[in-house]
Chains A and B, each alone.
Chain A
Amino acid sequence: SQTIHQWPATLVQPVGSPLSLECTVEGTSNPNLYWYRQAAGRGLQLLFYSVGIGQISSEVPQNLSASRPQDRQFILSSKKLLLSDSGFYLCASGKQSYSYEQYFGPGTRLTVT
């Protein structure tokens, strides 16, 4: 079974500072990878997804970017954080097949001050 790791678990950053959140996946190869943001414990907003190394699709225009330098590594970044970037960031992994199940990591709580 898949295991998704995320770090850091929590992060407090000042407005205007850079951001790098990392997600790694074990137990599968060539997965689809996803970054979601969750505000106030409700509603999952898809930010980015990737079907392979270097292939990133953005779902919403925003202050964030994503990269996939390795098959099982997915990174969420920002050059300058905004207050509105605060939230709970979740990485998910899914198989590249007709199984649409996605498995989530433990999440990163980001507070921008």
Chain B
Amino acid sequence: GQQLNQSPQSMFIQEGEDVSMNCTSSSIFNTWLWYKQEPGEGPVLLIALYKAGELTSNGRLTAQFGITRKDSFLNISASIPSDVGIYFCAGQSKPGASGSRLTFGEGTQLTVNP
């Protein structure tokens, strides 16, 4: 089946630093989504990307849909302690496929030291 390679697996940063993480695939995706999950809670959708080359921001978060359609990037600027959590990328590769299933990356665990 399809796989998304998400990196890094974990990050330990100081408050105020910028963060970058990415997802790559050997297959083309038509939609990229980025989620954040805090301990004991369900993932929350942060950003959705639908066009190759698209760059979308949500506050201090910026995500890009790679031009090759095989990758996506998430950047967090000026990190704060509440940015702690696991960030997941997800992709959809088959428009109209039954159930609109997503493929998820394994997540990036972000720790922010005050």
Select from chain B the residue with minimum beta-carbon distance to A96. B100
Q: Mark A59-92, 1 if CB is under 8 A from B, else 0.
A: 1000000000000000000000000000000101
Q: Which residue of B lies closest to A10 (CB)?
A: B40
Contact between A51 and B101, CB atoms less than 8 A apart: no
Known pairs A100-B31, A100-B33; A107 contacts B45 (CB<8 A): no
Main secondary structure of the interface of A (DSSP, over half): strand
What B residues does A99 contact at CB under 8 A?
48
Binding site for B on A (CB under 8 A): 4, 32, 34, 41-44, 46, 49-51, 57, 59, 90, 92, 94, 96, 98-107, 109
The 7 A-B pairs at the shortest CB distance, nearest first, are namely A104-B42, A100-B92, A49-B99, A44-B104, A100-B31, A104-B43, A107-B42
Which of A32, A96, A100, A105 makes the CB contact (< 8 A) with B42? A105
B33 interface neighbour in A42, A57, A101, Cβ under 8 Å: A101
The one of A42, A50, A90, A94 that contacts B106, using a Cβ cutoff of 8 Å: A42
Select from chain B the residue with minimum beta-carbon distance to A6. B42
Chain A residues closer than 8 Å to B40, beta-carbon distance = 107, 109
Q: Is the CB of A43 within 8 A of B42?
A: no
Q: How far is the CA of A42 from the CA of B101 in the complex (A)?
A: 18
Question: In the complex, what residues of A have CB within 8 A of residue B106's CB?
Answer: 42-43
Q: Is the CB of A44 within 8 A of B92?
A: no
- The one of B35, B96, B104 that contacts A43, using a Cβ cutoff of 8 Å: B104
Shortest distance from the beta carbon of B95 to any chain A beta carbon, whole Å? 6
Q: Are B107 and A32 in contact (CB under 8 A)?
A: no
Q: Which residues of B contact A50 (CB under 8 A)?
A: 99
